[in-house]
Amino acid sequence: MSDEIKVEDLLILGAGPAGLAAALYAARADLNPLVMTGTELGGQAALTDRIENYPGFPEGVGGAELSELFQKNAERFGARLEYDTATEVDLTKRPYTIKTYSNEFLAKSLIIAVGASPNKLKIPGEDQFRGKGISYCATCDGWFFKEKKVAVVGGGDSALEEGLFLTRYASSVTIIHRRDELRAGAILQKRAMKNEKISFIWDTVVTEVKGDQGVERLVLENVKDGKKSELEVDGFFIFIGHRPNTLLFKGQLEMDEKGYLVTDERMRTKLPGVFAAGEVNDPHYRQVITSAGMGAAAAIEATRLLESEEED
Ligand SMILES: Cc1cc2nc3c(=O)[nH]c(=O)nc-3n(C[C@H](O)[C@H](O)[C@H](O)COP(=O)(O)OP(=O)(O)OC[C@H]3O[C@@H](n4cnc5c(N)ncnc54)[C@H](O)[C@@H]3O)c2cc1C
């Protein structure tokens, strides 16, 4: 029964850069935070091969390695990790209730750092071939495509980073983009253009994925002249942006039109003791460093709030 459950001072939902940085700061402030990891310990950062823009690592650092360092750093000061996923929250009264698959938690304060998930193309064949040739993570699945032909859809940093990573394994990487220019940063564009394994198909969308047991062909449509064609591939990687994982909070917390949580500049939602940090409330920057910074800020705010409530 809920009145027998220990009330946590601070529960952190999410163990990506934002959640783990929040855990570090909260643990050092003696809040004894409990971090619920969800299914992706380390978050999106752990999925990428190399991170070259997190300060302090002049040679770059593996995404999984950096995530592990974040975790160790937080645990060293007493942060506790709970390997579970929040399935339901009740924010109508404090302490707030968080239900998971196997448990129920009560918390005086909450830092929501559940991040974002990849967008889907929502085309025929996408769900059918997920894990059978379709992937949203080159670092996780690139290895399966040794000497195979793969296609990547997208034109941003992720699409190029992951496309470049795939050239380690694949015999060829075709990047399909719906416009005639890329959104990705200049350095990445240069690297991709120079790579002999990479080619581009411009002004084109993928309308269907075809195959039998796995991906065999992509149906393409040129957005300028409407011409259809097919591209034979063994693998198809989709990098067309992300959406915040905020369904859980619908109707309980304010969101913008894209589903990002709305906070003030101090990471506070409108509910007392409920903070948000990282990609869940950041449609603008979406980086490890900015997410971690927001996590730290949220933890400082939670500490100040709990301390002031204790004094009262
Ligand atoms: C392929 C790729 C490459 C990237 N490369 C770079 C790079 O080079 N440099 C850079 O700075 N950034 C990079 N990024 C972006 C960076 O990884 C993200 O900005 C950062 O991870 C966001 O951190 P976050 O903590 O806000 O969320 P996330 O990393 O998305 O973490 C979310 C956390 O919440 C948990 N969670 C979700 N739902 C629940 C739930 N219901 N209950 C409990 N927990 C839950 C997840 O398991 C996860 O632990 C890359 C991202 C991708 C996808």
Q: Ligand 1 centre from 116 Cα, in Å?
A: 6
Helix (H, G, I), strand (E, B) or coil at 174: strand
Does pLDDT of 118 surpass 90?
no
pLDDT in tens, 3-48: 578 999 999 999 999 999 999 999 999 999 999 999 999 998 998 7
- Residue 20 vs residue 140, higher pLDDT: 20
Q: Ligand 1 centre from 190 Cα, in Å?
A: 26
pLDDT at 236: 98
- Residue 304 vs residue 2, higher pLDDT: 304
Residue nearest to atom 7 of ligand 1 (CA): 51
CA distance 139 to 36: 24
Does pLDDT of 234 surpass 70?
yes
- Residue range 262-266: mean pLDDT, rounded: 97
Residue nearest to atom 49 of ligand 1 (CA): 15
- Choosing from 141, 157, 234, 282, which is the catalytic residue? 141
Answer yes or no: is the C-beta of 37 below 6 A from any ligand 1 atom. yes
CA distance 166 to 172: 9
pLDDT at 158: 86
Ligand 1 atom, smallest distance to 21 CA? 25
- Choosing from 127, 140, 256, 264, which is the catalytic residue? 140
CA distance 135 to 142: 9
**If you average pLDDT over every residue of the chain, what do you get?**
95
Answer yes or no: is the C-beta of 19 below 6 A from any ligand 1 atom. yes
pLDDT in tens, 146-162: 999 999 999 999 899 99
- Residue 142 vs residue 36, higher pLDDT: 36
pLDDT in tens, 206-223: 999 999 999 999 999 999
pLDDT at 3: 57
- Choosing from 84, 90, 137, 203, which is the catalytic residue? 137
Could you identify the residue written with the tokens 């059918």?
128
CA distance 77 to 127: 42
**Angle at alpha carbon of residue 78, lines to 95 and 293, rounded to 5°:** 75
Answer yes or no: is the C-beta of 18 below 6 A from any ligand 1 atom. yes
Residue nearest to atom 12 of ligand 1 (CA): 287
212 in active site: no
Q: Give alpha helix (H) positions in 224-285.
A: none
Dihedral sign, Cα of residue 231, residue 237, residue 240, residue 243: positive
Q: Ligand 1 centre from 16 Cα, in Å?
A: 5
Q: pLDDT class for 51, splitting at 50, 70, 90? A: confident
Does pLDDT of 116 surpass 80?
yes
Q: pLDDT class for 299, splitting at 50, 70, 90? A: very high
Q: Ligand 1 centre from 229 Cα, in Å?
A: 35
Q: Beta partners for 169? A: none
Answer yes or no: is the C-beta of 109 below 6 A from any ligand 1 atom. no
Could you identify the residue written with the tokens 């990609």?
279
Answer yes or no: is the C-beta of 298 below 6 A from any ligand 1 atom. no
* Greatest alpha-carbon span in the chain: 69
137 in active site: yes
Q: pLDDT class for 2, splitting at 50, 70, 90? A: very low
90 in active site: no
Does pLDDT of 186 surpass 80?
yes
List, in order, residues 6 or more apart from 245 with CB less than 8 Å away: 114, 115, 116, 117, 280
pTM: 0.83
Answer yes or no: is the C-beta of 293 below 6 A from any ligand 1 atom. no
